[in-house]
Structure 1
Amino acid sequence: MTNYSDPLPPIPEAGARGTSGWVGWVAFAGFMLVLMGTFSVMNGLTAIFREETLRVRKDNLALPADYTTWGWIHIIIGIVVILAGLGCFAGKVWARTVGVVVALITATLNIFYLVATPFLSAGLIFLAFICCLALTVHGSEIRPEGR
């Protein structure tokens, strides 16, 4: 039987048993994943509802597709990225794995969408690679002690 009054185990700090300063980078990657997902969702909503604000016609995109299609792709990927970022804060292995995969998908997606939103896409590509680095190098260090 589970006692729900037990406090959650604390997330280890840098220097705690088996951890290093990279714990902060993993937490940063989780935060950046949430931020990247939020930007992707906003980018998708813009593509669906305000496509006239984008820089080029849909025919000039690297992968010509309707902006509504691009919008839904951005929204779906953005939601998955947000969930992976939230899971990284809990130290879940699945969240780190999904976080790396969707960060790479986001980077690839934004390479094809670069001409429509150049600064946002370039920023998301950069953040995706930083997140991949932090999650793959020392991702396991954010797990609470005893797990």
Structure 2
Amino acid sequence: MTASRISNTTGWLSFAGVVAFVVGVFNVMDGLVALFRNDYYQVTSQDILVFNFTAWGWIWLILGLAQIAIGAGLLAEQSWARTAGVAMAVLVAIGQLAFLRAFPVWSVLVIAMCVLLVYALTAHPRTRAYPEA
């Protein structure tokens, strides 16, 4: 019989790890589309708040890869990943606001997932109100 390892991860942290991984994949997809298919978006690069599609492609690619790493770190119960996850989720949500004009539905979806991610990372796990006697 093998000894099982008891995990300190709450359901919220596991959820946050999965959401961070999914948002990271979404951002990588966004970055690759912006890099290789500028005509995919219905607006010109002048209609975006800042930068052009090539710059946004690299930004989303780098942020997406970082979020995938953070998601893996959260699932592996790394302490650094919780703080990095909150910071990255806020940064990505702000970036999606700037990219909103290019693909509004996608941006709103990613912003909503970032808000969920911040909540999942900052929610306190349930504790007992009274210690056992």
Asked if structure 2 preserves the Cα contact closer than 8 Å seen for 1:26 and 1:138, the reply is no
* 1:50-129 → structure 2 map (5 Å cutoff): 50-63=37-50, 65-129=51-115
Q: What is the TM-score of this pair, normalised by structure 2?
A: 0.87
Equivalent residues of 2:28, 2:65 under 8 A apart:
yes
For 1:87, the aligned partner's letter is G
Please list the CA deviations of residues 71-111 of structure 1 after superposition, one character each: whole Å capped at 9, or x if unmatched. Answer: 00000000111111111112211001111100001000000
Aligned length: 125
* Counterpart residue number, 1:137: 123
User: Is the 1:107–1:128 contact (alpha carbons within 8 Å) kept by the matching residues of 2?
Assistant: yes
| Runs of at least 5 residues in structure 2 that lack an aligned partner in the other structure | 128-133
| Paired position in structure 2 for 1:145 | none
Q: Give the structure 1 partner of residue 35 of structure 2.
A: 48
Work out the percentage of aligned pairs sharing the same amino acid: 34
Q: Which amino acid aligns with 1:85?
A: G
The residue identity in structure 1 corresponding to 2:113 is L
Match of 1:11?
Answer: 7
Contact 2:12 2:123 survives alignment (8 Å)? no
Q: Structure 1: any 5+ residue segments left out of the alignment?
A: 1-5, 14-22, 142-147
1:30 equivalent to 2:17? Answer yes
- In structure 1, distance between residues paired with 2:61 and 2:12: 26
Matched AA of 2:122: T
TM-score, structure 1 length as denominator?
0.79
Supply the distance in 2 between the matched residues of 1:72 and 1:7 (Cα, whole angstroms): 45
